Amino acid sequence: MQYHLNGFRPGNPEVHPAARARPDAPPKTLDAPPETPDVLPDTLDVLIVGCGPAGLTLAAYLAGFPQISTRIVERKPGPLEKGQADGISCRSMEMFAAFGFADTVIRQGYQVSETTFWAPDPANPAHIARQGRVDDVEEGLSEMPHMILNQARVHDLYLDVMRNAPSRLVPDYGLELAGLTIDPGAAYPVTAMLRDTDTGEIRTCRARYVVGCDGARSAVREAIGLRLEGSSANQAWGVMDILAVTDFPDIRLKTLIKSARDGNVIIIPREGGYLVRLYIEMDQLREGERVSSRAITSETLIAAAQRIFHPFSLDVREVVWWSVYEIGQRLAARFDDLPEAQSATGLPHVFIAGDACHTHSPKAGQGMNVSMGDAFNLGWKLAAVLTGRAPPDLLRSYSAERQAVAADLIAFDRDWARIMSARPGALPAAQSAATADDGEDADFQRHFIAHGRYTAGMSVRYAPSSLIGTARWQALAPGFPIGARFHSAPVVRLSDARPVQLGQIVQADARWRLIAFCPAQEPGPSSAIAELCAFLATSRASPCRRHTPKDADPDAVIDLRAVFPQNRRDLALEAMPPALLPRKGRFGLIDYEKIFCADPSPGRNIYDLRGIDRAQGCLLVLRPDQYVAHLLPLHETGALSDFFAGILTEV
């Protein structure tokens, strides 16, 4: 990480200097920054409702922008301590890297490396036997692992980011949204009524934007007249986090057990080495039936699990948390307050994210991950609009992009739930090139492998729009599909020879990135990279000049990086174009972290891994949420300028 840009600061660099006080906040000092003021201001830029994964992702994002007044309210009296979701997909880990805490999750969490499959033993169907094992994540899919960590710990990590951010944001617990009204013509169009859960007192707060991250029974969704459509509560699953003694050998592996007569269990080993989560499939509910009517207890769940584990023993010593989790695949038609007729022209003021707009079965571990993905998409857009970098119509793209993603994932979830519940041996053959061990239930394993990109969070591909360019030049780097998330690869930094993952240049800071992959030519004055740099630094048509405020650092809005195919020792730092060694901050210090070289080690060269055209190179435009927005030849500067002109405000 980079720090000391504006002068030496002792102490933990992850605690950012507190921002200068806003006019509506008490004074803040560096030594004793006050907590977020107790009293909710009358007016706010963004009010977030709900401290689940969606709300906290958004709050952590906006906390980095002290010029945006943000508050997050939660009806519960304090932070979540245990329970709920725990699966963190590779894609979410890539996002955590942008927030700076992926390494903490790797250190504290359980890493899912292998999944095993158990089914009735063909020789004795009353017993279960291992039918196969597969790698949990396809080789090379991401530099990040699939992790398991309690949702409550994920919340803590976000709360740390918020507390250490320049705006020192902390949630307002014990406040619940009781209703909202919208007056589109007002400076603060949304009026929110908030009830103090202790006193019952109602406060009102006017906001430019309200984001409902308030879960499956969202009051925000109801207030804007949207409903979750689809099958509700069709399947009940018991879930329990336990400390147990067992002779089942795969208890520390993610395991799917299908018994002949007693149903299915998913074993999710948990962080810390001892804790285990069991998901136990309960009966299908009748139409309109609620799971509470079944009077299920933790003893019911333990007994069901013991029957499925047979002939292995399961001696439960402590039930840490348990719940009966009843969920269907449901989806809202829109994720904002615009009537359908105004979806292409209106300006939204209220958004919903996470379970408020889509719910999934827990079987594919999507709930928390997709919810965080929604907020990551909305975070940079709100930041861009509220800091004046982009016009408010950018916000229309949130519902358009994320509703399509959720619809796709719900279709996958429905399919996956059907596969999970199928009786052993009852599945048709899966279309998958990947191999699975042969055995009674090999088809089930093939389905698992075929669905791996969905469960890893890598299936998202945004459709062409003003934010996603044409695929005309895709052949310059087929390994970076336009609209998909940037697939990172190793590179070596020129200035200090440090090996790094290129994808990790993206931080949760609403900046766009331009990555110039240079052709195999000397980077002299008439080289393609020198000409591109000259255009970006000096031309009036340069998007970097057009969209960056005069007094800001040159990379404040669009951050230019370059990757060279040459060996690091064959390149001279001093011969690099000045735009790749920009001067920044109050001292005009040089930023040495913009230039990278391909890693020459076998199997690690980014040009080979992603199929980058060595003769022509290419220019990759990366969105602030790590998705590939565009891919162009290095000399297509006109198309580059036009692309940004359609998104960002000219300063």
| Binding footprint of ligand FAD on the chain (CB under 6 A) | 49-55, 73-76, 84-85, 87, 151, 176-177, 213-215, 219, 239, 323, 325, 354-356, 362, 365, 367-368, 371
Smaller CB distance to ligand FAD: residue 214 or 443? 214
Smaller CB distance to ligand FAD: residue 222 or 553? 222
Smaller CB distance to ligand FAD: residue 213 or 417? 213
Could you check whether the bond before residue 362 is cis, i.e. omega within 30 degrees of 0? no
Smaller CB distance to ligand FAD: residue 50 or 554? 50
249: tokens are 């050998």
Q: Shortest distance, CB of residue 77 to ligand FAD, whole angstroms?
A: 10
Smaller CB distance to ligand FAD: residue 203 or 493? 203
Smaller CB distance to ligand FAD: residue 81 or 522? 81
Residues 432 and 450: their CA atoms lie apart, in Å, by: 5
92: tokens are 């979410």
Query: From residue 259, how far is each of 307, 341, 423 by CA, in Å?
Result: 9, 51, 8
Q: Shortest distance, CB of residue 205 to ligand FAD, whole angstroms?
A: 12
Smaller CB distance to ligand FAD: residue 358 or 487? 358
Q: Shortest distance, CB of residue 54 to ligand FAD, whole angstroms?
A: 3
Smaller CB distance to ligand FAD: residue 359 or 616? 359
Task: Name the nearest CA neighbour of 261 among 126, 144, 118, 378.
Answer: 126
Q: Shortest distance, CB of residue 85 to ligand FAD, whole angstroms?
A: 3
CB under 8 Å, gap of 24 or more: what pairs does 589-594 form? 589/5, 591/2, 591/555, 592/495, 592/496, 593/2, 593/493, 593/495, 594/555, 594/559, 594/560, 594/561, 594/562
Report the interhelical angle of 53-63 vs 367-386 (nearest 10°): 30
Q: Shortest distance, CB of residue 20 to ligand FAD, whole angstroms?
A: 30
479: tokens are 């390994």
Smaller CB distance to ligand FAD: residue 215 or 617? 215
Q: Shortest distance, CB of residue 152 to ligand FAD, whole angstroms?
A: 10
β-strand 618-622 against 628-632: which pairing, if any? Answer: antiparallel
Smaller CB distance to ligand FAD: residue 205 or 544? 205
Number of CB atoms found within 10 A of residue 311's CB: 12
How many helices and strands (H and E) does the chain possess? 14, 29
Smaller CB distance to ligand FAD: residue 151 or 527? 151
Residues 224 and 349: their CA atoms lie apart, in Å, by: 10
Query: From residue 438, how far is each of 131, 549, 552 by CA, in Å?
Result: 8, 61, 60
Count of alpha carbons within 13 Å of 476, Cβ hemisphere only? 22
Q: Shortest distance, CB of residue 75 to ligand FAD, whole angstroms?
A: 4
Q: Shortest distance, CB of residue 88 to ligand FAD, whole angstroms?
A: 10
Which residues have CB under 8 Å from 503's CB, separation 6+? 94, 97, 143, 486, 487, 488, 489, 626
Q: Shortest distance, CB of residue 363 to ligand FAD, whole angstroms?
A: 9
Residues 22 and 41: their CA atoms lie apart, in Å, by: 12
Helix (H) or strand (E) holding 164: helix 151-164
Smaller CB distance to ligand FAD: residue 213 or 476? 213
Q: Shortest distance, CB of residue 367 to ligand FAD, whole angstroms?
A: 2
Residues 162 and 159: their CA atoms lie apart, in Å, by: 5
Q: Shortest distance, CB of residue 392 to ligand FAD, whole angstroms?
A: 24
β-strand 583-584 against 589-590: which pairing, if any? Answer: antiparallel
Q: Shortest distance, CB of residue 326 to ligand FAD, whole angstroms?
A: 10
**Is there a contact between 280 and 304 (Cβ–Cβ < 8 Å)?**
yes
Q: Shortest distance, CB of residue 236 to ligand FAD, whole angstroms?
A: 12
Q: Shortest distance, CB of residue 98 to ligand FAD, whole angstroms?
A: 18
**Is there a contact between 473 and 632 (Cβ–Cβ < 8 Å)?**
yes
Smaller CB distance to ligand FAD: residue 73 or 632? 73
**Is there a contact between 151 and 455 (Cβ–Cβ < 8 Å)?**
no
Which residues have CB under 8 Å from 392's CB, separation 6+? 347, 385
Count of alpha carbons within 13 Å of 104, Cβ hemisphere only? 15
32: tokens are 């004793």
Smaller CB distance to ligand FAD: residue 57 or 246? 57
